[in-house]
Structure 1
């Protein structure tokens, strides 16, 4: 790893200095908003971010907790020990651990030379990765679990990939971009996550699989792929015919498994494509509206403002490259 980047990541934080000065416990108010120890995305992400990094806090045992986002830990130096389902998971330098938002884990106190970084990622940031991965496989099954509102069995994947240069390079690129807050690299970071998971798909022999494939996962993936490929003209009725499922049953299934309606999933995809076109092209707003499936410009404007809290014109001005 680049020595300058490592120097940034191993700096003693204010939170760690308090612990070195005699503090004993994790300051929960930094992480949670309620009573249960669920690390809150609102505490970790700011200004509409979908991905950020945070160096793992050393010098204290981190109690049992889970998150309302996807956590991906990378160990830059030393080692870090997690306890998941009563089992010790020892991460060495170069290892990658990915946990869905339903996984509860604790972490043993790390020392000064044990440098880990947490990637804090919203599920929708993985859209590019969904489009790249094979439909069947451990990694795709795992990623579908990101979309479930609840899951009694949390899932995690531990990759021992210290010797896999492409994976290490992609992680370092992501760390560099996010550590220095390079705002114009959102799309690059999203594609980098997709490429990272595409490489990890090749190295599933280097991980500990935690749950078997489920039929529901395959069905959910069929829904997501249909929306991804046909967002301009997609409809729940057409999808039901394609996969030979009753309309009402399919509608309830989508809501139960993803926490969103078909309409909400479709709108999310359309808004993300529209945002990319606003950033990367000179197409007029009306042309973009048509390109993503809206024939009524006024309705597109309302949907866009509801989703991004700014108008298409304002979004283009703020994010133009």
Structure 2
């Protein structure tokens, strides 16, 4: 991280001065209403805003609490220890932690060089960022949507161990710098940057740990990840072998947890990918059918028509017409 920015974030706040002088307990009045354990965004963010940052408060133990907002914690330097719904998380330099509103979090005291930035984010902020993902849907995206948008989601947190991924580090630094320095037009800049960040994170699902509120989430993450990477020619038997499960048990588990069979999940992914290629590439319909895993082009046509209610060629024409009208407008 830029050293000048890091030095600014390292400055000891008035609140932290109190802890260094001997105050033992966290100043709850800064964060929450009396007699509650919920950190309230209204105490941390100006009215009308949907995102704000503040450096993580060091030198004090922060007892178990919840939030009425989505929190993103980015570790600029050093590390911090978090207990989230019973899971111990060591957040190291360059890593990030997304917390849903249903997560219960406890934070151990951090030292002077343990510099983290807390993003206080209202769910509405993500609307534009998520729209940037376009037609190329991603099964992993379902987990991100739950973590960011749903108070009652099964997934309580996403821990991204992405310290070695330069594009993600650059985006995080840009986001912090823009908000910290109160740049003009920052709302649109920040939303676009968040969209790019989410797109990047979708490429590194092998580096994410998921909150285990539901013991099935880790299994489903593995299934979705495999389909993302092998939707063209992957086999359930190969996946079962990789995960060390009996193939028949895994088949039943997938259907029980998702309401769909493995084959149906693969088909859904193939159709989304086909729609994306129809809209963004010059490949023929036959080439796209093969590219997503269908040698039988007639069968691909029937599946696409059933999924979207329109033929592949008409889908492409309709999307191009929509794009031309938007450009003219």
Common fold: TM-score over 0.5: yes
Quote the residue 1:202 is aligned against.
203
Q: Secondary structure at the match of 1:81?
A: strand
- Which of 123, 140, 151 matches 2:142? 140
Which of 84-93 and 14-23 deviates more?
A: 84-93
Q: How many residue pairs were aligned?
A: 220
Rounded to whole Å, the distance in 2 between the matches of 1:193 and 1:2 is: 19
Quote the residue 1:319 is aligned against.
none
Q: Secondary structure at the match of 2:185?
A: helix
- Which of 140, 149, 152 matches 1:150? 152
Quote the residue 2:56 is aligned against.
56
Q: 1:79–1:91: 8 Å Cα contact kept in structure 2?
A: yes
Rounded to whole Å, the distance in 2 between the matches of 1:204 and 1:118 is: 22
Per-residue CA deviations over 1:47-88 (Å, capped at 9, x if unaligned) read: 411111010000011111111111000001111110122221
Q: 2:70–2:100: 8 Å Cα contact kept in structure 1?
A: yes
Rounded to whole Å, the distance in 1 between the matches of 2:22 and 2:66 is: 26
Larger C-alpha radius of gyration, 1 or 2? 2
Rounded to whole Å, the distance in 1 between the matches of 2:144 and 2:201 is: 12
4+ runs of 1 displaced by more than 6 Å?
none
Rounded to whole Å, the distance in 2 between the matches of 1:3 and 1:145 is: 32
Per-residue CA deviations over 1:73-129 (Å, capped at 9, x if unaligned) read: 000111111012222100110001111111111011000111011011110110123
Q: 2:146–2:155: 8 Å Cα contact kept in structure 1?
A: no
Rounded to whole Å, the distance in 1 between the matches of 2:81 and 2:55 is: 15
Rounded to whole Å, the distance in 2 between the matches of 1:184 and 1:98 is: 25
Whether 1:167 aligns to 2:177 is no
| Closer/same/farther in 2, CA of residues 215 and 130 from structure 1, 3 Å limit | farther
Rounded to whole Å, the distance in 2 between the matches of 1:114 and 1:150 is: 32
Quote the residue 1:268 is aligned against.
none
Q: Secondary structure at the match of 1:91?
A: strand
| Closer/same/farther in 2, CA of residues 127 and 215 from structure 1, 3 Å limit | farther
Q: 1:69–1:121: 8 Å Cα contact kept in structure 2?
A: yes
Shift of 1:3: 1.0
Quote the residue 1:41 is aligned against.
41
Per-residue CA deviations over 1:200-242 (Å, capped at 9, x if unaligned) read: 00001001123347759x9xxxxxxxxxxxxxxxxxxxxxxx9
Q: Secondary structure at the match of 1:188?
A: helix
Rounded to whole Å, the distance in 1 between the matches of 2:105 and 2:48 is: 27
Per-residue CA deviations over 1:19-46 (Å, capped at 9, x if unaligned) read: 0011001011100125221110101110
Q: 2:94–2:163: 8 Å Cα contact kept in structure 1?
A: yes
Rounded to whole Å, the distance in 2 between the matches of 1:132 and 1:95 is: 23
Quote the residue 2:186 is aligned against.
185
- Mapping of 1:120-139 within 5 angstroms? 120-133=120-133, 134-139=136-141
Q: TM-score, normalised by structure 2?
A: 0.62
Shift of 1:149: 4.2
Quote the residue 1:92 is aligned against.
92
Quote the residue 1:309 is aligned against.
none
Shift of 1:154: 5.0
Q: 2:100–2:155: 8 Å Cα contact kept in structure 1?
A: yes
Rounded to whole Å, the distance in 1 between the matches of 2:165 and 2:198 is: 13
Rounded to whole Å, the distance in 1 between the matches of 2:148 and 2:85 is: 19
Q: 2:155–2:210: 8 Å Cα contact kept in structure 1?
A: no
Q: TM-score, normalised by structure 1?
A: 0.64
Per-residue CA deviations over 1:115-174 (Å, capped at 9, x if unaligned) read: 0110111101101232233534233323234333435x4511111111111100000001
Quote the residue 1:7 is aligned against.
7
RMSD between superposed Cα atoms in Å:
2.3
Rounded to whole Å, the distance in 2 between the matches of 1:168 and 1:146 is: 20
Q: 1:130–1:140: 8 Å Cα contact kept in structure 2?
A: no
| Closer/same/farther in 2, CA of residues 104 and 60 from structure 1, 3 Å limit | same
